[in-house]
Amino acid sequence: MRRKKIILLPVVLITASAAVIWGYSTLLSFAEGLPSTESLARYRPDVTTKIYDRNGVLIDELFWERRALVPLNQIPVDLQNAVLAIEDTNFFNHWGMDMGGVVRAFIRNIREGHIVQGGSTITQQLAKVMFLTPERTITRKIRELILAIHIEREYSKQEILQFYLNQIYFGEGAYGVEAAARVYFNKSVNELNLAESALLAGLPRAPNNYSPQKNIIRAYRRRSVVLRRMRDLGFITEEEEIRANSHRLPVRTYARETRPGSYFVEHIRRKLLPRFGAQKLYRGGLRIHTTLDMNMQIAAEKSIEAHLSSFDERKKREILKEKMEEKDIEDPDKIEISTSTFQEVQGTLVSIDPRSGHIRAMVGGRDFEKSEFNRATQARRQSGSAFKPFIFTAAIDEGYTPASILKDEPRVYYNDGRRWCLLENTTDYANLGISFDLIDEFEEEDEEDNDEEREETEEEKELRKRVQALERLKNRLWAPRNYYPTSRGEITLRTTLVNSINRSTVDLLDQIRPVTAKFYARKMGIRSRMPQSLSLALGSGELIPLEITAAYGVYANDGIRTEPYSITRVEDYAGNTIIENRTREKQVLSPQTNFIMVNLLKQACEYGTGIHTRRLNRPHGGKTGTTDNFSDAWFAGFTPNLVTTVWVGYDDRSSLGEGQAGGVLAAPIWTTYKQRALAHTPVIDFPVPDDIIFVNFDPDTGKLASEFAENSILQPFIRGTEPREYF
């Protein structure tokens, strides 16, 4: 018997050793390739990128996983206890693995025939979400346990709990307790009460099942389970449990509602995405400091919406009236206007500080959720008369003065294949545009008479010849027209700009040549392509609101162009500055030329097409713009400290309606916005540079006038260019 024992002992020892070696090697194989838990010390959970306005006001956030990082001492004890009670009761007593929990999970898994419960501790859950895949396999479970033991060995319980509470998913896109508090209760985590803490603690096990957004009854039941467990463990009293269970939760879902500045935020995102990439932009916790002023932005959006909503209502009434007349119905309640087919008018507003180039407000449309297309930075539209100041600037710099005489008379231009040339003796073509209508009229009459065979009269023969001649010329002739069908003959440059006279503007452009006007527009900030033809006088070039605003900023800044920009600096998560932008400026006009233009544009607002802006009651200048068929309405204007452009139109370029010009639609929006935006800023005027002289001047003749003359105005001139003769 003793002999058998002696023989069996080595066998047992060898077997046990082999088992230990096998187990150890197996564990080594499971541990092979596992990440180092030391990375937790350097680990920073993905956090949202925050975008701030110029005053540090949070505008918006960029994220894939909505998350914020908070230290454990800012997380309520009730929330910590609630999570421990429902997720890991023995957290402070185990070494990464709870044997009791494992046994319970093992028994249930045997019953079910597959893994349905893991018995995981908080440390194991942290290991899984930080380093492993969510698959339910034995291999993954063993690797999870090994990592949990390493984590427990290298970090304190408090550190592990902090990692967990900032990492775990709570549903509705919220990662971590701070994001969850914001999503469900619209408050910071340190403001949560016991009832709210218990509800959040119950979510990580199955967020979709227990989310109050999915099933409020199930959420309340889950909260009750958490509270009962907290009472059983002595974390709360029975009275506290009863009070918390009776607490009605003001639950809300975080939604990506349209916030003020949505178009601006998208503008920022587009600028930074190519530089940083999506990973860093959405997960890097960047702090983006911008030039936006939220007070001005809100004023801009309210001004746009108020005026354009009113316009839409007028349009609906017009449509309703037309339908009632068509169907001979007197009761308007019997007529319906389809909201799906009714097209809302669109508008945009860009506002820049001319001294710094900071974009203070940007409205790219009426509703970012309906259309993300930013009309302030992406839309190219014909500018109409809003382009004219660049032509007049070029002329002043070339030696013209407000007293220079231009011709407002009918004229016809002929395209020789290279350029538009003024035809000689064009007085007979005064109504050439109307004459072109004869082509259609004649063809209609011809169709009516084509069944009748008769000899044409001499008058009809002459008309046919005229129509045939017009047909040949139609696409090669151009006769510019004024907004009002009148001709003033010889008028001053000042009158031409103030009253936006088309024909005399074309005359001026013909004299200085389109290439000169393009050169000045380009150096003032226009980057879009412009036609090198006389149609430039009527704003035929398609421009972007942002670039028009920047170019008008030259007038407000003593002839200095500043490049517009939207980001002042970008900081990384640690607060290190990684991008910093500064003002870039260049003198592009002499102070004297610039002041003459400022004065002319001030008069355009005081006496001319921008007269609606007079109610601003502070020094300002600007110019309206209206395109053919009333498809676009503009007003671009400036005060010494803020330059702003407003555009109104339909995306499909349909007509706004007869008479809906820039002075009617855009100027009122501009004025309302400026009143709100500048409400708390001092009233200042534009400085007068050296070598400027003021003389009393007759705006009709361009000659000197007595200060007591009825039509006399005080007009600035560059010294030496003032009129010498009296009217």
pLDDT in tens, 270-296: 999 999 988 888 888 899 999 999 999
Q: Which of 87, 196, 547, 722 is catalytic?
A: 87
pLDDT at 89 over 90: no
Choose between 468 and 627: higher pLDDT.
Answer: 627
CATH code for the domain of 193: 1.10.3810.10
**Structure-token pair, residue 406:** 């231009």
Query: What is residue 559's predicted lDDT score, i.e. its pLDDT?
Result: 98
Backbone torsions φ then ψ of 471, nearest 5 degrees = -60, -40
- What's the pLDDT band for 132 if we cut at 50, 70, 90? very low
159, part of any domain: yes
Of the candidate ranges 42-46, 93-97, 312-316, 390-394, the one whose mean pLDDT is the lowest: 42-46
pTM of the model: 0.75
Backbone torsions φ then ψ of 492, nearest 5 degrees = -80, 160
- What's the pLDDT band for 135 if we cut at 50, 70, 90? low
pLDDT at 110 over 80: no
pLDDT at 404 over 60: yes
79, part of any domain: yes
d(CA 429, CA 447): 27
| DSSP structural state of residue 72 | G
Query: What is residue 27's predicted lDDT score, i.e. its pLDDT?
Result: 42
Query: What is residue 397's predicted lDDT score, i.e. its pLDDT?
Result: 96
Residue where a domain stops, chosen among 245, 278, 310: 245
| Strand pairing class (287-290; 346-352) | unpaired
Q: Say if residues 192 and 79 touch (Cβ distance below 8 Å).
A: yes
Q: By percentage, how much of the chain surpasses pLDDT 70?
A: 78
Which candidate, 119, 122, 143, places its Cα nearest to that of 131?
A: 143
Query: What is residue 458's predicted lDDT score, i.e. its pLDDT?
Result: 74
Q: What is the mean pLDDT of the chain?
A: 84
Which candidate, 183, 175, 187, 199, places its Cα nearest to that of 83?
A: 199
Report the C-alpha dihedral over residues 289, 294, 296, 302, rounded to 10 degrees: 140
pLDDT at 65 over 70: no
Domain total for the chain? 2
Residue where a domain stops, chosen among 245, 277, 292: 245
- What's the pLDDT band for 308 if we cut at 50, 70, 90? very high
Long-range Cβ pairs for the range 316-325 (8 Å, 24+)? 316/342, 318/657
Residue 289: beta bridge partners? 52, 569
pLDDT at 528 over 90: yes
pLDDT at 340 over 70: no
Q: Say if residues 609 and 663 touch (Cβ distance below 8 Å).
A: yes
| DSSP structural state of residue 681 | S
**Structure-token pair, residue 253:** 């879902």
Catalytic site includes residue 330: no
Query: What is residue 316's predicted lDDT score, i.e. its pLDDT?
Result: 87
123, part of any domain: yes
Mean pLDDT of 473-491: 79
Range of the domain at 717: 692-727
Q: Which of 197, 303, 356, 385 is catalytic?
A: 385
Residue where a domain stops, chosen among 245, 276, 308: 245
94, part of any domain: yes
Q: Within 13 Å of residue 151, how many CA atoms lie on the same side as its CB?
A: 32
Catalytic site includes residue 87: yes
pLDDT at 25 over 50: no
Q: Say if residues 258 and 369 touch (Cβ distance below 8 Å).
A: yes
Burial of 52 (0-12, 13-18, 19+ CB in 10 A): middle
Query: What is residue 91's predicted lDDT score, i.e. its pLDDT?
Result: 86
554, part of any domain: no
Query: What is residue 41's predicted lDDT score, i.e. its pLDDT?
Result: 57
Q: Say if residues 124 and 141 touch (Cβ distance below 8 Å).
A: no
Cα of first residue to Cα of last residue in the chain, in angstroms, is 144
Which candidate, 209, 246, 207, places its Cα nearest to that of 224?
A: 246
Query: What is residue 663's predicted lDDT score, i.e. its pLDDT?
Result: 95
Ramachandran region, residue 659 (left: φ > 0; alpha: ψ -120 to 50; beta: rest): left
**Structure-token pair, residue 268:** 């920022």
Mean pLDDT of 471-490: 77
- What's the pLDDT band for 492 if we cut at 50, 70, 90? very high
pLDDT at 309 over 90: yes
> Which residues neighbour 159 within 8 Å (Cβ) at sequence distance 6 or greater?
none
pLDDT at 430 over 50: no
613, part of any domain: no
Which candidate, 214, 121, 140, places its Cα nearest to that of 170?
A: 214
230, part of any domain: yes
577, part of any domain: no
Mean pLDDT of 314-335: 71
* Tens-digit pLDDT profile for residues 529-552: 999 889 999 999 999 999 999 999
Q: Say if residues 177 and 164 touch (Cβ distance below 8 Å).
A: no
Query: What is residue 665's predicted lDDT score, i.e. its pLDDT?
Result: 96
pLDDT at 426 over 60: no
Report the C-alpha dihedral over residues 533, 534, 537, 538, rounded to 10 degrees: -90
